[in-house]
Amino acid sequence: MKAAVVHALGEPPAYADFADPVAESGESLVTVTAAALSPLTRGRAAGTHYSVSGGVPFVAGVDGVGRLDDGRRVYFMMPRSPFGAMAERAPAARYIPLPDDLDDVAAAALANPGMSSWAAFRERAQLKPGETVLVNGATGASGQLAVQIARHWGAKRIVAAGRNREALAALGADATIALGDDDATDARFREEFAQGVDVVLDYLWGRSAERLLTAAAKAAERPLRYVEIGAASGGEISLPGAVLRSRAIVIMGSGIGSVSLNRLVDCIRELFVAAKAGGFRLPTQTYPLSELAGHWRDGGARVVFTP
């Protein structure tokens, strides 16, 4: 079969032949119709994500949409290594049926980024209606959906932080913070924490996380649940212990491992059911998998490949 094959960690996968999967006990074979390009997919292909295991070659792609042999449309995730979702076929032990009102490309585009905030709100932060949410890194695909999903979950006020001012303005958040390396950013963080923030979803980590937590320690008036989801701005931070001693701040992560795979599947199922009523949407570009090389590093719109 044709697939996106990773021959060397750190190099883009190649559109090449790969052995056909054979279903093992508890698995079904999926004929893939759509698979999205996510930061997780890129990170695993680069060998930099903590969930990577095994050697090369392997097929890229952590999740996708397709059809079982009986014709059912399903979403599937985490195919057994060395197989992946960016292929004509994939073995799947974890899959769920798709609602009729959600097409294949939309489901593939929404699943991973939408799950990241759905699981963070439900499983980790346990967001309550009427609370205030700050999304750090709100202009990426996951951050955009986090703003929409926070509204769906009943957040009273949503603050979106990111570097792209134009993209921030289009999110529909109640307030925005343009991230920069200046005192103005720190002042805006303090203003928002003084008004009251209950939950932070952080897709950036790095320096912005240090500034956020420091601002919370100086200005927060109520307990804060801080959920780390991504590390687009850096994998490590330097944090004075006084930050955690001076305010009631709980820092937690959300992702593979901190939330079980079965619970992640449940979160995606709930996300799909809510997608139409919630109006969840992402700008999406669709390409044949054979054009993989030209779009592996695309930014902006969500990229979905169709084998």
Selection from 151, 146, 148, 30 nearest residue 86 by Cα: 30
Model confidence over 148-174: pLDDT tens digits? Answer: 999 999 999 999 999 999 999 999 999
How far the first Cα of the chain sits from its last, in Å, is 10
Average pLDDT over residues 14-27: 97
Model confidence over 102-129: pLDDT tens digits? Answer: 999 999 999 999 999 999 999 999 999 9
Average pLDDT over residues 182-209: 95
Give dist(CA 52, CA 45) in Å, integer: 8
Average pLDDT over residues 274-284: 94
Confidence band, pLDDT 50/70/90 cuts, at residue 185: very high
Q: How many CB atoms lie within 10 A of CB 258?
A: 16
pLDDT of residue 46: 86
Confidence band, pLDDT 50/70/90 cuts, at residue 48: confident
Residue 52 has pLDDT above 80, yes or no: no
Domains of the chain, CATH where assigned? 2-111+282-306 (3.90.180.10), 112-253 (3.40.50.720)
pLDDT of residue 181: 80
pTM (2 d.p.):
0.90
The lowest-confidence range among 46-50, 88-92, 157-161, 189-193 is: 46-50
